[in-house]
Amino acid sequence: GAVVSQHPSWVICKSGTSVKIECRSLDFQATTMFWYRQFPKQSLMLMATSNEGSKATYEQGVEKDKFLINHASLTLSTLTVTSAHPEDSSFYICSASTNGRLADSYEQYFGPGTRLTVT
């Protein structure tokens, strides 16, 4: 099956710094990638949808200037948390889809997640 990786798997950063999380589709081209955030004991909340080569679409309440998303290629999307604060500490998960280019196109393929801790 299609594999999505994330890097790093966990990161600790100081308040006020920025951190970049990478999401890669390893064996397929992902025209659309999604970024989710999950707080402890809660469900996944979609943050934004990104299509390759275009600007991301952010969900209501998500600050686009704080959570910078770049989807420059068909296999890589990045999420940069700028000026991170402790309340940004969360589990960030990406997913990728192929828009019908794979037989199992009804699936979204999820990465393993990145745990961000801001001190």
CA distance 53 to 65: 18
Mark 26-55 with x for binding to other proteins (rule: CB under 8 A) and - for no binding.
-----xx-x-x------xxxx--x-x----
107 binding other proteins? (CB under 8 A): yes
Under DSSP, the state recorded for 2 is -
Binding segment for other proteins (CB under 8 A), chosen from 13-21, 65-73, 75-83, 104-112, is 104-112
Amino acid at 2: A
112 binding other proteins? (CB under 8 A): yes
List Cβ neighbours of 64 (8 Å cut-off, separation of 6 or more).
Answer: 48, 56, 58
Considering only 17, 18, 83, 105, the residue that binds other proteins (CB under 8 A) is 105
Spatial contact of 78 and 70, defined as CB atoms under 8 Å apart: yes
* Residue whose tokens read 């949808």: 49
Q: Count residues contacting other proteins (CB under 8 A)?
A: 31
Residues that bind other proteins (CB under 8 A): 4, 6, 31-32, 34, 36, 43-46, 49, 51, 91, 93-95, 97-101, 105-113, 115
